Structure 1
Amino acid sequence: MSASTLSRRLLLTMALSGTAFSLPALAAEPQSLVAAKSEVTFVAKQLGVPLDGRFKTFSAQTAFDPKAPQTSKIAFTVDLGSVALNPDADTELAKPEWFNIGKFPKASFQSTAIKALGAGRFEVAGKLAIKGNARDLVVPVQLTQAGGLSTATGTFALKRLDFKVGEGDWADTSVVANDVQVKFKLVLQGVPAL
Structure 2
Amino acid sequence: MRNRLQIITFFFAFIGPNMAFGQTSKVVSGSTNFKVKYVLGTCDGTFDAPKGEAVFNENSPQNASFNIDIAANSFKTGNNSRDKDMKSDKYFYVEKHPNINFKSTKVEKKNGKYEATGKLTIRDVTKTVTLPFEAKKNADGSYAVSSTFEVNRLDYKVGTKDWKLKDVVTVDMKAIIK
TM (norm. structure 2) is 0.83
**Contact 1:54-1:85 at 8 Å conserved across structures:** yes
- Higher normalized contact order (CA 8 Å, seq sep 6+, divided by chain length): 2
Q: Which residue type is aligned with residue 122 of structure 1?
A: Y
Q: Which residue type is aligned with residue 32 of structure 1?
A: K
Is residue 61 from structure 1 mapped to residue 50 from structure 2 by the alignment? no
Q: Distance in 1 between matches of 2:107 and 2:72?
A: 26
Match of 2:125 in 1: 133
Identity over aligned residues, as a percent?
22
Residue 117 of structure 1: CA displacement? 2.3
**How many pairs were matched up?**
157
1:84-123 equivalences under 5 Å are 84-86=76-78, 87-117=80-110, 119=112, 121-123=113-115
Structure ID, larger Rg: 1
Deviations 1:134-165 (A, max 9, x none): 11111111111122121111111110000000
Match of 1:157 in 2: 150
SS in 2 for 1:98: coil
**Unmatched segments (≥5 aa) in structure 1:** 1-25, 190-194
Deviations 1:160-188 (A, max 9, x none): 00000013xxx21x211000001111111
**Unmatched segments (≥5 aa) in structure 2:** 1-19
Match of 1:187 in 2: 176
**Contact 1:57-1:82 at 8 Å conserved across structures:** no
Q: Distance in 1 between matches of 2:139 and 2:23?
A: 19
Residue 27 of structure 1: CA displacement? 4.9
Deviation >3 Å, runs of 4+: none
Residue 41 of structure 1: CA displacement? 0.9
Match of 1:51 in 2: 43
Give the stretch that moved more between structures: 142-151 or 89-98.
Answer: 142-151
Q: Distance in 2 between matches of 1:58 and 1:33?
A: 7
**Contact 1:66-1:116 at 8 Å conserved across structures:** no
CA RMSD of aligned residues (A): 1.6
**Contact 1:151-1:188 at 8 Å conserved across structures:** yes
Match of 1:30 in 2: 24
TM (norm. structure 1) is 0.76
Task: Compare the two structures and name the one with the higher helix fraction.
Answer: 1
